[in-house]
Amino acid sequence: MKLGTKTYLGALENIIWPIVFIVYGIFCILNADAMLSVRMIKDIAYSAIPLGFIVLAEAIVLLNGNFDLSVGQIAGLSAAVGAIFAANDLVPPAFTPFVPIIVGTLCGCVNGILVGKIGLNAFLATLGTFLVFDGIQLLTRHTVIFEFPEIYLVPGEIWYVSILIFVCALGCLHIFLYKTKYGYHYLAVGSSQKASGMLGLPISKIIFLSFVLSGLLSGISGLFYTGYLGAYGPLIAEDTVFMAFAAAVLGGISLKGGRGKIINVFGGVILLGIISSGLTVLAVSPYVRRVLFGVLVVTAIIIDLMKNRIREKVMKEN
């Protein structure tokens, strides 16, 4: 492959960063005093972290060639169970942060069994578990909880701890996906299950693993949402799945699976943070915000389609 072609394709994969700077620039023009303040820049990154873990959860499944509609509901259910355990001293305080992570992982196992082991369609299977997890969350706890051990809130409450943990999680996923043979197998299944099967790769196990990782990350999100808000509420992580999908795809994760840099997903997370904070500063109606985020989802799909067409055209020419 020619050097110019590699550079061109590399720029295509990293397109999220110019988008981030352009969108941020637009909001700065509309309200420079607020958007350029150090506090706002910190808040943009910090406020995006809980949703960022859901974005990673969706991205890890997309890379494996599947889709998970239940990531937001797993985060909500994990937060509900974790809040009950933490508020009622059902486990030692030091163990409480692990409760939502365990719950999320178990939910991911359910999705993994349905899709990876039984062979159900991922979209339809996770649509079903979306409804199941949502209902269980409301049955478990449908009122607000405020009282928690301090250790339970620390990961999501302290901004620099929250950002550091997210960056470490991002780094671990990067190493796993691009620096280990297991990661190569993981991406290979996402690129082509047929070819992976011919190579003897354990496809069902790898798909199962993708949903387990997705559930684990969603459970972490539930913990961070509670810490960020300082309370648990039944609407935690509500309507986040499509924003997570948009951020992952805008971050370069291909809808065809097996392609994309997990590091660039951070750009998608920051983009959501900028848009959310910018709209808040401009006092945009929540109804208008829903429309705009819907447009963002469609835009992400269009950009992914255009990138794939351009990539195919460039590859044919070279």
pLDDT tens column, 37-93: 888 989 999 999 999 999 999 999 999 989 999 999 999 999 999 999 999 989 999
Q: Which two tokens stand for residue 75?
A: 């985060």
DSSP code at position 37:
S
| Residues forming a β-bridge with 151 | none
Is the alpha carbon torsion for 161, 96, 89, 145 positive or negative? positive
Quote the pLDDT of residue 3. 47
The rounded Cα 97 to chain-centroid distance in angstroms is 19
DSSP code at position 262:
G
User: Model confidence over 181-228: pLDDT tens digits?
Assistant: 999 999 999 888 888 888 889 999 999 999 999 999 999 999 999 999
Residue type, 198: M
Rounded Cα gap, residues 49 and 55, in angstroms: 9
User: Model confidence over 84-115: pLDDT tens digits?
Assistant: 999 998 999 999 999 999 999 999 999 999 99
Domains along the sequence of the chain with CATH? 33-317 (1.10.3470)
Is the alpha carbon torsion for 134, 152, 268, 21 positive or negative? positive
Quote the pLDDT of residue 151. 94
Rounded Cα gap, residues 279 and 288, in angstroms: 10
1, pLDDT greater than 60? no
Rounded Cα gap, residues 225 and 281, in angstroms: 21
Calculate mean pLDDT across residues 232-257: 88
pTM of full prediction above 0.85: yes
| Contact by Cβ (8 Å): 53, 220 | yes
DSSP code at position 117:
I
